[in-house]
Amino acid sequence: MANKCDLCLLGLIILSSLLTGTSGVDDEDVFISSGENVRLPCNNALSDCNSTTWSYNRDSAAVELITGGKKKKDTERHERLSLGSDCSLNIKNVTQEDYGSYTCRQYVNDKQQGTDEHVYLHVLHVSVSPSSSSSSSSSSQTEISPGRSVTLSCQLYSYTRFSCNSEGLQLLWRNQSGVDLRTDSRYQISSDHCNINLTTTLLNEDDNREWRCQLTVRNQLQTSVRYTVKYSATALNPASPVIVIVIVVASFAVLLPALILWMIRRKRDDNRRGTGDSEDQQTRPVYPTGQNTLLQQVPSGGGVADTPDACWMHS
Ligand SMILES: *[C@@H]1O[C@H](CO)[C@@H](O)[C@H](O)[C@H]1NC(C)=O
Ligand SMILES: *[C@@H]1O[C@H](CO)[C@@H](O)[C@H](O)[C@H]1NC(C)=O
Ligand SMILES: *[C@@H]1O[C@H](CO)[C@@H](O)[C@H](O)[C@H]1NC(C)=O
Ligand SMILES: *[C@@H]1O[C@H](CO)[C@@H](O)[C@H](O)[C@H]1NC(C)=O
């Protein structure tokens, strides 16, 4: 039921005048979730679209995406764009970077036809922390494990013209039954303008559980992003940590006696050598530097090395 609802509302367009009451009649707001496909309408449509120009604008100067009905090849996202038969702009696999203002302009005989058509695209996107190492941030699934705390941050990327404080706009986290998760003490929910965060400690039974971040305007669902918990096989397999512990313990069992033996031997060596050295220093004659170093190398190579073994065997 809810799935069907999401589908039929996908790409739903509402008039910006409903939201702000100040924008032009032709301006539209489109809400979409990242990863989905969207169609931005050009209501100036002519019988053919070979004069259609679509440009994109956010913070800086406008960039032309479509000129004379043809895609500009040099734009970063040209592969995800296409021009519909009704001159609408189609964007595949929307990313949060696609939010902004899109303008459709039509010409007849080099003269602009009608006025500019502005469409404002607002993108809902969920990011997860700790983030998954294997998949990109746009993925709705991530490999995480029970017992860990996870934060799902749901953000509405919105063009400045549009305010998240707008009357009637609401972001909510719901579970599969549609229950508002603020009512469940298991979840910590914090929200701030265009952003709502859900934090919870994952339980074993959360595998395959789905949470949805929903954007509604005046109680009408605009778009929603689902997040599905997916535990990897190893995260649920209790044997793997045990094996690691066994290996660690086993290595200690072998290494520890060896280490103790080595330390005992070393201590004995030191005692031996300590007394020997002090005698050497007292009796050692002073040679010119070159000879002295030559002589010092001789005992450290042969004599000293033999002593510890001998004394170990005697004791
Ligand atoms: C667009 O195509 C139509 C025929 O489909 C042609 O008559 C018209 O001149 C073309 N316009 C431009 C600007 O190329
Ligand atoms: C959509 O874009 C994301 C990156 O933004 C990419 O990882 C993913 O594979 C794309 N999906 C499709 C169906 O192209
Ligand atoms: C949704 O949350 C309510 C309240 O916490 C709970 O009773 C219900 O079982 C949950 N539904 C799902 C599908 O998890
Ligand atoms: C939600 O999480 C994001 C990323 O961790 C953070 O930047 C933002 O301030 C948080 N918002 C709230 C309302 O806590």
Domain assignment present for residue 272? The answer is no
Q: In this structure, are 101 and 198 located in the same domain? A: no
Does residue 280 come out as left (phi exceeding 0), alpha (psi in the -120 to 50 range) or beta?
A: alpha
Q: In this structure, are 56 and 130 located in the same domain? A: no
Query: CB neighbours (10 Å) of residue 2?
Result: 15
Q: In this structure, are 130 and 219 located in the same domain? A: yes
Q: In this structure, are 75 and 87 located in the same domain? A: yes
Residue at 235: amino acid letter: A
**C-alpha to C-alpha distance for 237 and 231, rounded to whole angstroms:** 10
Q: Specify the ligand 3 atom closest to the Cα of 184.
A: 5
Angle between helices 303-314 and 289-301 (to 10 degrees): 30
Report the separation in Å between the CA atom of 259 and the middle of ligand 4, taken as the mean of its atom positions. Answer: 50
Report the separation in Å between the CA atom of 315 and the middle of ligand 4, taken as the mean of its atom positions. Answer: 69
Query: Cβ(185) to ligand 3 under 6 A?
Result: no
Q: What is the pLDDT of residue 197?
A: 97
Query: Between 16 and 257, where is the model more confident?
Result: 257
- Cis (ω within 30 of 0) for the bond into 130? yes
Q: In this structure, are 148 and 217 located in the same domain? A: yes
Q: Using an 8 Å Cβ cutoff, are 295 and 287 in contact?
A: yes
Q: What is the CATH number of the domain that holds 36?
A: 2.60.40.10
In this prediction the pTM is 0.67
Ligand 1, residues 46, 50, 85, 111: which to mutate, most atoms within 8 A of Cβ?
50
Cβ burial 217-234 (10 Å sphere, 16+ → b, else e): beeebbbbbbbebbbeee
Domain assignment present for residue 285? The answer is no
The set of protein residues with a Cβ atom below 6 angstroms from ligand 1 is: 48, 50-51
Ligand 4 atom 6 nearest Cα: 153
Domain assignment present for residue 188? The answer is yes
Domain assignment present for residue 236? The answer is no
Dig out the tokens for 127 from the structure: 């990011």
Q: Which domain holds residue 207?
A: 124-230
Res 241 pLDDT > 50: no
Mean pLDDT, residues 264-286: 53
Q: How confident is the model at residue 289 (pLDDT cuts 50, 70, 90)?
A: very low
**C-alpha to C-alpha distance for 144 and 232, rounded to whole angstroms:** 7
Q: Specify the ligand 2 atom closest to the Cα of 35.
A: 1
Q: In this structure, are 155 and 207 located in the same domain? A: yes
Of 76-80, 123-127, 156-160, 295-299, where does mean pLDDT reach its minimum? 295-299
Q: Specify the ligand 1 atom closest to the Cα of 110.
A: 13
Q: In this structure, are 56 and 110 located in the same domain? A: yes
Residue at 53: amino acid letter: T
Q: Specify the ligand 1 atom closest to the Cα of 108.
A: 13
Q: What is the pLDDT of residue 10?
A: 32
**C-alpha to C-alpha distance for 226 and 13, rounded to whole angstroms:** 20
Mean pLDDT, residues 139-146: 64
Query: Between 153 and 4, where is the model more confident?
Result: 153
Q: Which residue from 42, 26, 27, 64 is spatially nearest to 159, judged by alpha carbons? A: 27
Ligand 2 atom 4 nearest Cα: 138
Query: CB neighbours (10 Å) of residue 180?
Result: 13
Residues written for the chain: 315
Domain assignment present for residue 159? The answer is yes
- Which residues, 6 or more positions from 312, have their beta carbon under 8 angstroms from its beta carbon? 265, 268
Q: In this structure, are 155 and 218 located in the same domain? A: yes
Mean pLDDT, residues 214-228: 93
Dig out the tokens for 310 from the structure: 């001998």
Domain assignment present for residue 309? The answer is no
Domain assignment present for residue 250? The answer is no
Q: Where does a domain end: 99, 122, 145? A: 122
Q: In this structure, are 51 and 130 located in the same domain? A: no
Outline where the chain has alpha helix (H): 2-9, 16-19, 233-236, 239-283, 289-301, 303-314
Query: Cβ(260) to ligand 3 under 6 A?
Result: no
What confidence tens digit (pLDDT) does each residue in 74-118 have? Answer: 767 788 999 999 999 999 999 999 999 999 998 887 788 888 889
Query: Per the structure, how many domains does the chain have?
Result: 2
- Which residues, 6 or more positions from 47, have their beta carbon under 8 angstroms from its beta carbon? none
Query: Cβ(192) to ligand 4 under 6 A?
Result: yes
Ligand 2 atom 14 nearest Cα: 93
Q: In this structure, are 138 and 87 located in the same domain? A: no
Q: How confident is the model at residue 123 (pLDDT cuts 50, 70, 90)?
A: very high
Domain assignment present for residue 14? The answer is no
Task: Give the ligand whose atoms come closest to the C-alpha of residue 36.
Answer: 2
Q: How confident is the model at residue 160 (pLDDT cuts 50, 70, 90)?
A: low
Q: Where does a domain end: 122, 142, 173? A: 122
Q: Which residue from 21, 96, 8, 17 is spatially nearest to 58, judged by alpha carbons? A: 96
Q: Where does a domain end: 73, 95, 122? A: 122
Query: Cβ(190) to ligand 4 under 6 A?
Result: yes
Q: In this structure, are 135 and 116 located in the same domain? A: no
Q: In this structure, are 164 and 220 located in the same domain? A: yes
